[in-house]
Amino acid sequence: MPYDKDEIRPELQALYDALDPKKLKELDHAIAQWRGQPTALLHVVHAAQEAFTWVPEGAMERIARGLDIPKAEVYGFVTFYDHFYTDGPARHAVRICQSISCYLRGSNDLIAAASKHLGVQPGARTKDERIRFECVSCLGQCDNAPSVSIDDIPQQGLSAAQLTAALDKLK
Site of interaction with ligand FES (CB under 6 A): 97, 99, 101-102, 138-139, 141-142, 145, 147
Q: Which CB atom, from 61 or from 134, has the smaller least distance to ligand FES?
A: 134
Strands (E), the chain: 92-97, 124-125, 131-136, 148-150, 153-155
Query: How many helices and strands, by DSSP H and E, does the chain display?
Result: 9, 5
Q: What angle do CA 92, 98, 101 make, to 5 degrees?
A: 125
Residue number closest to ligand FES, CB atom: 97
Q: Which CB atom, from 97 or from 150, has the smaller least distance to ligand FES?
A: 97
Q: Which CB atom, from 126 or from 147, has the smaller least distance to ligand FES?
A: 147
Cβ 139 to ligand FES, closest distance in Å? 4
Q: What angle do CA 139, 63, 132 make, to 5 degrees?
A: 35
Q: Does 146 sit behind a cis peptide bond, omega within 30 degrees of 0 on the bond before it?
A: yes
Is the sign of the CA dihedral 48, 52, 56, 58 positive or negative?
negative
Cβ 152 to ligand FES, closest distance in Å? 14
Cβ 117 to ligand FES, closest distance in Å? 20
Q: Which CB atom, from 71 or from 105, has the smaller least distance to ligand FES?
A: 105
CA of 40: how far to CAs of 12, 29, 34, 61, in Å? Answer: 22, 12, 5, 15
Q: Which CB atom, from 49 or from 147, has the smaller least distance to ligand FES?
A: 147
The number of CA neighbours under 13 Å toward the Cβ of 13 is 6
Cβ 107 to ligand FES, closest distance in Å? 7
Cβ 154 to ligand FES, closest distance in Å? 9
